[in-house]
Amino acid sequence: MARRRSCRTLGVAMNTRSREAVWVLLSGVFVDTKNTEKDLLALGRALQRTGFSVEEIETILRREVAPVCGQWMVYPGAIGPWPMFDEQDLQKRIEEHLRKPWYKPPLFNAGLMLMPGVKREWKIVRNAVRSQRDA
């Protein structure tokens, strides 16, 4: 039987396995390809199907995915090129980030609004998740 992993975000314990799909979906906002509005709406629909609220998804984005994936957008030359996408590597990096003590913040700690395109793309995705909930 597989051991259940859990981690804490903002003091709330959540099952990691149930969030891995959210990590992978949200990582798409940080890749070096241009997302169309159609892509972002589809991302919003997929995130809605995970069962997490918009607020929980945004917390996961800001506290878990952005510190790991956003570093390639902010420091592309310093840390090397965007690696070949590997879900297991992404999960490992996020779990390592979550295990860091609070007094050792990540090298990348800028807000999402400083990253090119992320604010605009998240707004479209967030609205898609909300509209699917209201439908």
Whether 119 maps to a domain, the answer reads yes
Query: How many domains are contained in the chain?
Result: 1
Model pTM? Answer: 0.76
Question: Does residue 108 carry a pLDDT above 80?
Answer: no
**21 located within any domain:** no
Tell me if 34 is assigned to some domain. Answer: no
Q: Quote the CA–CA distance of 119 and 6 in Å, as a whole number.
A: 28
The answer to whether residue 58 sits within a structural domain is yes
Among candidate residues 54, 80, 59, the one with its CA nearest the CA of residue 14: 59
- Residue listed under structure tokens 């804490």: 8
**Which range of residues forms the domain containing residue 111?**
51-135
pLDDT one-digit tens code per residue, 3-35: 344 454 544 455 667 799 999 999 888 776 678
In a domain, 80, yes or no: yes
What's the pLDDT score for residue 98? 87
Task: Dump the DSSP string for 60-106.
Answer: HIIIIIHHHHTHHHH-HHHH-SPPPP-HHHHHHHHHHHHHS-TTS--
Question: Do residues 49 and 97 touch, judged by C-beta distance below 8 A?
Answer: no
Q: Average pLDDT, whole number, for the chain?
A: 76
Locate 83 and state its tokens: 């690696």
Rounded Cα distance, 132 and 75, in Å: 35
The predicted pLDDT at position 75 comes to 58
Residue 123's contacts (CB-CB under 8 Å, 6 or more residues apart) are: none
Q: Does any domain span residue 95?
A: yes
Q: What is the pLDDT of residues 62-92, one digit of tens each?
A: 888 888 887 766 655 545 445 567 888 888 8
pLDDT band at 100 (very low <50, low <70, confident <90, very high): confident
In a domain? residue 1: no
Any domain includes 43: no
Q: Are strands 6-9 and 12-15 parallel, antiparallel or unpaired?
A: antiparallel
